[in-house]
Amino acid sequence: MAAGTIRYWAAAKAAAGIAEEPYAAATLAEALDAVRERHPGELSRVLQRCSFLIDGNPVGTRGHETVRLAEGGTVEVLPPFAGG
């Protein structure tokens, strides 16, 4: 199990009510399950539409259970952004 930081942006930040929090998980799926438990409701709905960066690298379509998290790493939670 690795420990690091989850950072929320835009609608995810508003739904979580915080900008960042620690994680203790081996995979992105485990980290997101813990987030859903801590923040039931709106954040769970927002997460369904989000993209994720792990230490600056996009997760893309990979299964979240296959994405390993590193000690001291960062998970960026990026909801869809309007405009362009």
Is residue 81 one of the residues assigned to a domain? no
CATH number at residue 30: 3.10.20.30
When mean pLDDT is compared across 5-9, 40-44, 72-76, the lowest value belongs to: 40-44
9 falls in which pLDDT band (50, 70, 90)?
Answer: very high
Please give the Cα distance from 1 to 43 (Å, whole number).
24
Range of 36's domain? 1-76
Average pLDDT, the chain: 94
Total length of the chain: 84
Is residue 25 one of the residues assigned to a domain? yes
Q: Do residues 36 and 44 lie in contact, with contact meaning Cβ atoms separated by under 8 Å?
A: yes
**pLDDT per residue over 23-36, tens digit each?**
999 999 999 999 99
Is the model's pTM score more than 0.85? yes
Domain count, the chain: 1
Is residue 14 one of the residues assigned to a domain? yes
